[in-house]
Structure 1
Amino acid sequence: MRKNRDKPEQLSSYSAISSYYFAMRSSLNRIENEMTPLPRELTGYLAPDGFLPELTREVGDGVLRLGRLVLCPGPAVDAAWAQNVWHSPRVIAFESIAQAANALKGLGRRWALYDEHLRNRGRAKLIQERLSGPSPKSFRFGTTTPNSPLGSWTLLDDRTLLASARCSSPFAHGDIQFLEDKTGPPSRAYLKLWEVFTLLGQSPKPGQLCLDLGSSPGGWTWVLQKLGARVISVDKAPLAPGLANLEGVDFRVESAFAQRPEKIGPVDWLFSDVICYPHRLLSLVTQWLEAGAAKNYVCTIKFQGETDFETIDRFRAIPNSRLLHLAHNKHELTWVWGKG
């Protein structure tokens, strides 16, 4: 009896990935005669470009790596260095491009192809062409984020695909491509604030008081002023011409670390993009948290040389906070805290 080509075979994560993993590992002479067993529940974590070691320190080496994508046993864990998380990925065997596309359509409406690790991307691209993908347009800051789920998929081989219909980011691979402002902001640092406000679905309201530490040349101050907030902007270096004179901006040529709660008073938001060692930022943040002097925090933890995992863990331990690696972060993380 001829096999029905219209219905792809959905295999268990265990059997399909185990077979693929065994073949791959054997070909690399990493194991000889024994297949490494895999768990039945998997989660995929996509590392930011260049930061796979940081991700694997958080989630482990996993059972299979596909470029920057690390497949790990069990449900998702909090991973700051994951730019996108593939929840409960499925393995699907198929015989034709049409069959693969139909299988994905049966799981979800929109799909993004992850193909960085593929040597031959032609077959994968032919499948993706039959799917509804992410919007090709740049995202305009302040507009509603996509509310329909965006799944992620890739090929394990020419007849097997891996797909997750539920990912942590509504943007392809967690990478937000903004429609940039080429004339207003003095640096591209403003994109970090645009991104964190987009992901949080929250930003300063008109009239709220913001403290922007380490503000020069003024990218974050520019964003906050455009939102209608009042900004105490602090740096020893000057702001870009004209920014200090904008309505609602109080620029102070001082050290960020001299801004104590008893000196400034209560603020609605505390922002820091200060270039400093992580432990110094932690001390500053702890001082403000203990004083209860800020309702919301957005701070960049910048790493100089080696990644400071000890201080990362101390930030992570602060209740009601989150650690994120934004698409616009470099060797740094963004820490956010809010009273809700």
Structure 2
Amino acid sequence: MNLSKKLLFMALASCAALPAVAKDAQVGTGETNGYRLVWQDLFDDSELRPDRWNIEVNGSGGGNNELQFYTDLDRNVRLGDDGKGNHCLILTAVREVYNGKQFTSGRINSKNKVAFTHGKVEAAIRLPKTANGLWPAFWMMGNDFDQVGWPKCGETDIMEFGHIDGINRGVQDRYFNGACHWGQSWNNHPNYARAVTYNYSLQDDEYHIYTCIWNQERIAMYVDLDKYPNAAPYYEMTIPATGDTGAPGYYFHKENFILFNLAVGGNFPNIWDAAGITALNAGNGNQASMYVNYVKVYQKGTADESLNTLSPGDEQGGASVGDVVAETEIAFDGNTVAVSVPSTICVYNINGSLVRSACGTEISVADLQGGVYIVKCGQATKKIVIR
């Protein structure tokens, strides 16, 4: 091989080694309008973190007559490369007979592991083609679900695709909705949903950021604020606090956990038979995936906010999000725990159960039963005795 040919071969080999496309940045919409990043999962680990997420395993139909069986199998729920250099959460729906169902898929939640009250929460999601029959969602429910059930826990649907109206109009790639559900019983649950048809496709094999800003006054939802920071919300509902159990403000001022899932069929797309699920076909090997590049929670550190996590968020800029440097000081005056750096303060009883948490610089413990407690704030730990 002469020198010119050898150099050409080396150049081609070098080009072949480069990724075909650039990896998407995991910066989100950023720390805007006073919000500070307090927790995130970048899904860059080799496996889903069990201290952050629960993988649901059931074929209950989700209360919506869905057709899939949710599994914890790698083919349905895993972390991996999306084919574009992004390591992310991958939820895959597969046409296969499994435990009496015609499909399998994935659903995860952060119940009792990551929960927060008020803030800005967002996720970068790359959607499959939903036509027809796929129903991807990014949503939240009250962390008191185990105690009060649904709908008393409250439900906030930040993003749902695949509705029958989008199918009928032939606009599934841009027709989606936000919604809130609440109430005292299954037979009495008010809700407010709002669907929109965007002027560009959101199923274009690219990531789009879905953001929910939730505070004492309202819940508002946006898409692609990173590209269009002045965009109007596609969903908005006011939630003034109230003691009226029929009003939304009674249900939406408590800690919520996060959910991602990819449902198949059911009441939302109005498809209840396997033959109607044309989104899973021979052309895609009878499977399709929803990719989540990251999920982030931002807060302002106000008294109405809380953040309750079993572990700090992923690193951003060299330090764990939500973590605090070792020099953080914890003080206790008999009634109040105070910390020197604003962050998440967690109080545990002697059995290791979380009994109270808050985001900020102090938390009152005056009403707790007397005994020994452990206070944790990032890397700092202090034993306190309440008398």
What TM-score does the superposition give when structure 1 sets the normalisation length? 0.26
Please identify which structure carries the higher helix content: 1
Q: Which structure: greater strand fraction?
A: 2
TM-score between both structures, scaled by the size of structure 2 = 0.24
